[in-house]
Structure 1
Amino acid sequence: MRFGRSFQDVTWLQRGFQARLFRWVGVLVVILVVSQIMWSATRKSADPAATLKSTAEDRRVVLESNEQLPPEVVKILPEATTAAPSTPRSSITEEGLPDVSLGSPTDTVRSGTTATSGGAGPADGATTPNMLAGAGNQQSPPASVDVFAETAIDPIILRDVVDNTLGVRISEADAFYRLLSHARLLPAEYLTKAARHDLTWDNLMADPKVHRGELVEIRGDLRRLSKIQASQNSYGVVEYYEAWIFTADSSSFPWRVVTAQIDPDLKLGDQQMTPVRVAGYFFKREGYDAAGGLRVTPLLIGKRLDLVRATSVPPTDMTSFFYLAAVIGLVLLAVLAMLGSISYSDMKYQREVLMTRHESSREALESIPPVNLPSVFEQLEQISSQEIKEDLPDLDEMTSSRRNGAAP
């Protein structure tokens, strides 16, 4: 770079300004880091999963109260105007469904199933008791098996289910455990194949009565997973798992999912970000207690919560922080490189300028003859005297001319 002989007068090249520039860059880096930390903390605090209260009250299956939630709690999102899909596979009428057992020891079974002391299962010879016990393999069912008939349920057992209540009511407990036992005894691949994928969160929230008992599969992010001890029931259910899952169509509202089994790689706890999938029966539009107040959400009852193993690891908060640190480092390196290049160019130019200068000896300077210049006052006196001489007329001539003019 070349800035001429006045390069030292350029402000931004001075060392003091460079020091201030470094300080401002440091302040900028600190601000970016603090902003990243605050953004991460804000996102965690604003995470809908954090609004789920971890109290014993909201994890109870059967509550003592059968009160209906107030109308203002039952909020259907404005965008929840998606038209309901085609007619559900499982008919809502009592005549359109096969009479199947849902795990009660006293129920009889028809439509290709046999009664057992612990529940019902397919009796076509293609499945084994281990499969009915919940082995959880994902093999395709035999072609001779009608998975829709095997997984269908009688809507009569859900006649006492009421939407918009906090938790599962006492009158709904039998249907709850009966459906959970039925899902537990079915092969997982039956549920997966028979499940619907066209029902969204909006559909179930808008028309819970129409879609009650529908087998639905969802995929989303698991935020909380808990193991719950079951209350006394007639279906041999000792414990089950409660999962809160956020899907793309549910936005910031969770699904509540109850399953009999979970993937071995899933861990219990809160504040998770684990991709999962599950096929479950839609039980009701259930109320739950959140940090922001009472809300409602679909409740699914299924067999198994499976982990979705992604091919690549999604970026986490720490990964984003490292990316930010890398960007800041690159910016700092670029600034340092620019300042170093400028400083090197300045030093090189200064050396070149100094080499072109010629130093004069003291004797040569003393040999120059002095020049005497009059002072300012002397110059003013000379100018004044010269002007007086040029401007004033002769008095003798003026007197004689007047006399001549006055004579007759």
Structure 2
Amino acid sequence: MLSSRRIRTLVGLVSLLAPLTLLADEKTGEDPFKPFPEQLQPSLFNEVEDKALGGVLDDEETLYYYVLNHLQETSLQDQKQAAEFNLQNRRSELKTFREHPELKLPLFPDIFKNMKRWKGRLVTLTGRVRKLVHYPASEDNKFGIKTLYEAWMFTDDSQQNPVVVICTEVPPALKNGLPEGTDVIDHVTVTGYVFKMYLYSAQDTSRIAPLILAQRLEWTPPKTDETGGQLFVVILGTTFILLMAGVGFMLWRNNQRDKEFREKRLQTSQGEVSFDQLSSATTSAERMPQIKPPANETGSARDSKSDSSPPDSPRS
């Protein structure tokens, strides 16, 4: 492993030789870093130790801040183009993806399993962030970096394995961490250098995660469709009004039917004799005395005469 002094010397030589390289390129017309001259040489990262206790070692700190400063000074768009170029190069190395361009290369598993292939190269990852903290940068870094942001991101193909991202810029809404009341934010994109395989502790065990050094976090929160929300409120209000109108009409209709029924019943009652009246009339008729017809006078006299006649003689 390189000592801190050797890494500082190497970084200094790269800085000194950069103008000479550009001058040579102007003369020869060749660019040794084609097609993206802003991309660092992966060989600078060869001595960075993976799975080391303590995260970024003291001997790696100079290169660590050098990369972060380099990212600040270069265009994010150029970084993304270089990352896409690296991705296509990797696809060309794998037969399955070379023969089937429609297939998507699972980038996280490939980085996780092939760290030596990806170390020191730019990549672009998209996923969701579940942890975001910020802390002061080392005071003795010579690039004037004041604050570092640390994000733990999970991609669609990383399952439960995180990517640890260190950057120097975040959107204003994330300056103090995740939004209040939020445990996770989605639609986060980061482009940066694969620095090393980072060792961390989790639930009484040690785990590893790729460590990415980036310029910034890009967050695209889902937009709320205000027009759609207003339309929903209008539809809901209209439905409520129609429902209440329907209920009111049904109540009014039932009331009208009850009123009509009562009126018809009243008219029917007035045209009929009640059973009480019929019963009273029958009782009165039964209690009236019967008048006997007068006796026949002729019959009576005849009867009287026959009663007064003498009895028949024995002769007759």
TM-score tier, shorter chain, comes to 0.5 to 0.7
1:168 matches 2:56? yes
1:68-92: CA deviation from partner (whole Å, max 9, x where unpaired): xxxxxxxxxxxxxxxxxxxxxxxxx
* Greater Rg by CA: 2
Map of 1:187 onto structure 2: 75
CA, structure 1 residues 218+327, in 2 after alignment: closer, same or farther (shift >3 Å)?
Answer: farther
Q: Which residue of 2 aligns with 1:360?
A: 269
Count residues in correspondence.
244
| 2:11 counterpart SS class | coil
**Aligned to 2:212, which of 292, 295, 300?**
300
Q: Which residue of 1 aligns with 2:114?
A: 207
1:199 and 1:152 mapped to 2: Cα distance? 24
Unaligned runs of 5+ in 2: 1-7, 88-104, 284-316
TM-score of the pair, normalised by structure 1: 0.45
Letter in 1 for 2:278: I
Query: Residue 104 in 1 paired to residue 11 in 2?
Result: yes
1:238 aligned partner: 145
Letter paired with 1:269? G
Distance in 1 separating the partners of 2:246 and 2:53? 66
2:40 alignment counterpart: 152
- Kept in 2, the 8 Å contact 1:218–1:279? The answer is yes
Aligned to 1:105, what secondary structure does the other structure show?
Answer: helix
User: TM-score by structure 2 length?
Assistant: 0.56
C-alpha root-mean-square deviation of aligned residues, in Å? 4.8
1:254-403 maps to which residues of 2 (within 5 A)? 254-263=162-171, 267-271=175-179, 273=185, 275-289=187-201, 295-308=207-220, 313-314=223-224, 336=244, 339-357=247-265, 358-360=267-269, 364-365=273-274, 366-369=276-279
Question: In 1, are the aligned partners of 2:45 and 2:120 still within 8 Å (CA)?
Answer: no
Shift of 1:343: 2.5
Letter in 1 for 2:257: Y
Gap change, CA 1:364 and 1:261, over 3 Å in 2: closer
For 1:128-171, what per-residue CA distance to the aligned partner results, in whole angstroms no more than 9, with x for missing partners? xxxxxxxxxxxxxxx99834343132435333321375633445
- Do 2:48 and 2:195's aligned partners in 1 also have CA atoms closer than 8 Å? no
Secondary structure of the residue aligned to 1:303 is: strand
Letter in 1 for 2:177: G
**CA contact 2:71–2:215 (8 Å) conserved in 1:** yes
Q: Please give the secondary structure, in 1, of the residue aligned with 2:278.
A: coil
Flag the structure with higher helix content: 2
Letter of the 1:205 partner, please give it: F
Report deviation, 1:281: 0.7
Change (3 A) 1:328 1:178: same
Q: 1:149 to 1:315 in 2, by over 3 A?
A: same
Q: Residues 151 and 186 of structure 1 are in contact (CA less than 8 Å); yes or no, is this contact kept in structure 2?
A: no
> Does the Cα contact within 8 Å between 1:224 and 1:268 map onto a contact in 2?
no
What is the identity, as a one-letter code, of the residue corresponding to 1:305?
L
Q: How does 1:29-108 map to 2 (within 5 A)?
A: 104-107=11-14
Stretches of structure 1 lacking an aligned partner (at least 5 in a row): 1-100, 116-120, 127-142, 373-408
